């Protein structure tokens, strides 16, 4: 497995594989890898000849400097794990390699609408940072496919829109959320949880499942479902930080024409901000 730190060396390897007619898959990550990431790698491995994984903690998508500094960096362990899973190349650049002029002079990519609603409204600038770094990685790697987790539902929708709008010649593959046995969605931020908080965390998915059951039974009092969910989370020790039930295709409020809803969950538990989502057929 190759470990490359500079765009120049990355381009050389990509050029060689392209000349050989290889089909390339990209899995963008911020490191601190877990089984959820490995599901993305497996999907990439199944669909391509070459798998490239990027490991880059992107400063542009962090609103607070302390959150950026605290984000876990475990490159050596990540590389060992990726090597065992048959990855061909790890691209692990420094911020200076990606943003040589610094963040303030950097050209950015902004996806209108999706960048500023729901999760984007509570985290200003976050999705602009995501779309910019993903666009840059697409240009560097030139993959035929790129794999992203469905756990970050709004992010996946945003990237799909960006690819369509910008005319990227690639397929975006969404991979289902990987969960622990108790239902908690796997996330690098789960490492922030204390032992006691880890016992509480699965209540996020349990409350979400209750919301889904009410929707599936035909209930459409959305505000009431959300209010009850916020109270249930609080009772379990979690602080809701943005619950929404929207159209799964548009991420806009449900209408009479909506056939699928998506429940989007975000809640604080100690120092960890946990997110989750679930789609519900409401046809």
Report which of 156, 194, 154, 190 is spatially closest to residue 172, judged by C-alpha positions: 156
Listing DSSP states for the chain in one string gives -EEE-SHHHHHHHHHHHHHTT--EEEEEE-S---HHHHHHHHHHHHH-SEEEEEE---GGG-SSHHHHHHS---HHHHHHHHHHTT-SEEE---HHHH-TT-STT------TTTTTSTHHHHSTTHHHHHHHHHHHHHHHH--SEEEEETTSHHHHHHHHHHHHHHT--SEEEEEPPPB-TTSPBP-GGGGG--HHHHHHTTHHHHHHHHHHHHHHTT---HHHHHHHHHHHHHHHT-EES--EEEETTT-SPP-TT--EEEEEEEEEETTEEEEEEEEEE--
Which of 37, 104, 126, 221 is labelled catalytic? 37
- Are the C-beta atoms of residues 81 and 120 closer than 8 Å to each other? no
For residue 37, indicate whether it is catalytic: yes
> Annotated active-site positions, please?
37
């Amino acid at each position: 497995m190759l470990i490359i730190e500079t765009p120049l060396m990355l381009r050389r390897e990509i050029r060689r594989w392209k000349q050989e007619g290889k089909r390339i898959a990209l899995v963008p990550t911020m490191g601190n890898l877990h089984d959820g990431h490995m599901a993305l790698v497996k999907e990439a491995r199944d669909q391509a000849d070459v798998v490239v994984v990027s490991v880059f903690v992107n400063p542009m998508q962090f609103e607070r400097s302390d959150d950026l500094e605290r984000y876990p960096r475990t490159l050596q362990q990540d590389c060992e794990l990726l090597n065992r899973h048959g990855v061909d190349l790890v691209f692990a650049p420094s911020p200076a390699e990606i943003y040589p002029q610094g963040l303030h002079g950097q050209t950015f990519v902004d996806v209108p609408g999706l960048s500023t609603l729901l999760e984007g409204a509570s985290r200003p600038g976050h999705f602009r940072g995501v779309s910019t770094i993903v666009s840059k990685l697409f240009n560097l790697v030139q993959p035929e496919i790129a794999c992203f987790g469905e756990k970050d539902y709004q992010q996946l929708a945003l990237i799909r829109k960006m690819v369509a709008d910008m005319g990227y010649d690639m397929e975006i593959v969404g991979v289902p959320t990987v969960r622990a046995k108790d239902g908690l969605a796997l996330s690098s931020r789960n490492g922030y949880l204390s032992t006691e908080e880890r016992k509480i965390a699965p209540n996020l998915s349990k409350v979400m499942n209750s919301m889904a059951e009410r929707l599936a039974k035909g209930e459409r009092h959305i505000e009431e479902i959300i209010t009850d969910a916020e109270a249930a989370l609080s009772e379990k020790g979690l602080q809701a930080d943005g619950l929404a039930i929207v159209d799964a295709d548009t991420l806009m409020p449900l209408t009479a024409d909506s056939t699928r809803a998506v429940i989007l969950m975000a809640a604080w538990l100690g120092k960890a901000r946990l997110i989750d989502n679930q789609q519900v057929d409401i046809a």
